Amino acid sequence: MDITVERIVQLIKSKKIAEATFAEDIGMGRNTVNNWKGGRSKTYLKKVDAIADYFGVSVDYLLGRTDNPAPPRLNADNAIIVQGDYVGPVTEDERVFVEQVLKAYREQQKHDKS
């Protein structure tokens, strides 16, 4: 069994749910987990985002890239929130641009108040 399947099986056990229930909850057939464990299928790779969301863990954890199951936290340095909606991760260039615009706006506000 590969690490992703091992971790999925471990999470299923820790949540005390049936493998068939889990499979149905993510839109798969009842025997899906058995097929994964037997190496007959790797359909979990298509569902890795849904599986991570289901268990509240990161995709990186499921794929064995980290041993920390916690999903990454939103970092204000690499994300933008517009009118309360999360726009998503931004590149370094985009972050610098937004920061410069904000600084210019604040400077203008200082001058307008004077």
pLDDT, one tens digit per residue, over 9-43 is 999 999 999 999 999 999 999 999 999 999 999 99
The distance from CA 76 to its chain's CA centroid, rounded to whole angstroms, is: 16
Exposed / middle / buried, residue 68 (Cβ in 10 Å: 0-12, 13-18, 19+): exposed
Helix (H) or strand (E) holding 68, with range, is: none
The predicted structure's pLDDT at residue 82: 59
How far apart are alpha carbons 19 and 8 in whole angstroms? 10
Amino acid at 102: L
Q: Which pLDDT band holds residue 109 (cuts at 50, 70, 90)?
A: confident
**12 and 33 Cβ atoms separated by less than 8 Å:** yes
How far apart are alpha carbons 4 and 85 in whole angstroms? 32
How far apart are alpha carbons 9 and 37 in whole angstroms? 8
72-100: pLDDT as tens digits: 665 555 566 655 566 667 777 877 888 88
37-63: pLDDT as tens digits: 999 999 999 999 999 999 999 999 999
The predicted structure's pLDDT at residue 85: 62
Six token digits for residue 17: 């749910």
